[in-house]
Amino acid sequence: MPVYEIARNGRCGSRVLDLDGATLFVAEGIFAPEVVRGCADRGLLAAAYCIRQHRLVTFWRRLTRDLREHRKPPLVLLRRGWSLMRDQGRVVDHAEQLGALPVTPDEAFRAISRLGGHADAGR
C-alpha cells in the first residue's frame, strides 16, 4: 500500500499490509482509489467507495485539521485548501474511473455496515 507524506506533497514509499486473518480492511485517503484494481484482481475487493460531500465542508475540515497539526504555514494551507477545493470534482471523477462508487458519508456507513454483517446500533 502507498505511504503518503503531506510535507513532501506526495507518495514517499509503500509497505505491505498484513490483514492477520481479517476478512475486511478499509483503505482511505488520496491514494485509496489507486489500490482498487489491484485488490479486485487479487479477489480482495468487497467494495470501493469515494466519500463525497460539499466542497466547503471538505475545505473546512481539511483546513482545521492541518492548522491544528501545524502541517504547513497557515497561508500555504489556505492556498492549498482552496486549490484542492476547486479540484474536488476531478478527484471524485478519478476515483470513480478507478472503480470507486461516490457516496455520502451516511451511505458509506450503511454500505460498510452491511459488508461487515452488522450495523452499529448507535447510528
The owner of cell 485539521 is 65
Answer left, alpha or beta for residue 103, where phi above 0 means left and psi between -120 and 50 means alpha: beta
Question: Residue 13, SS3?
Answer: strand
- pLDDT over 70 (residue 123): no
What percentage of the chain reaches a pLDDT higher than 90?
54
Instruction: Name every residue whose Cβ is closer than 8 Å to that of residue 63 and which is 6 or more positions away in sequence.
Output: 77, 78, 81
Instruction: Name every residue whose Cβ is closer than 8 Å to that of residue 119 and which is 6 or more positions away in sequence.
Output: 110, 113
pLDDT of 7-39, one tens digit each? 676 778 888 888 888 878 888 887 889 889 988
- Please answer whether residues 67 and 78 qualify as being in contact, where contact means their C-beta atoms are separated by less than 8 angstroms: no
Question: How do the domains of the chain map onto residue ranges?
Answer: 25-115
pTM of the model: 0.73
Rounded-to-integer distance, Cα 60 and Cα 53, Å:
12
Chain-wide mean pLDDT for the chain? 87
Rounded-to-integer distance, Cα 14 and Cα 24, Å:
20
- pLDDT over 50 (residue 72): yes
Residue 118 has a pLDDT of 46
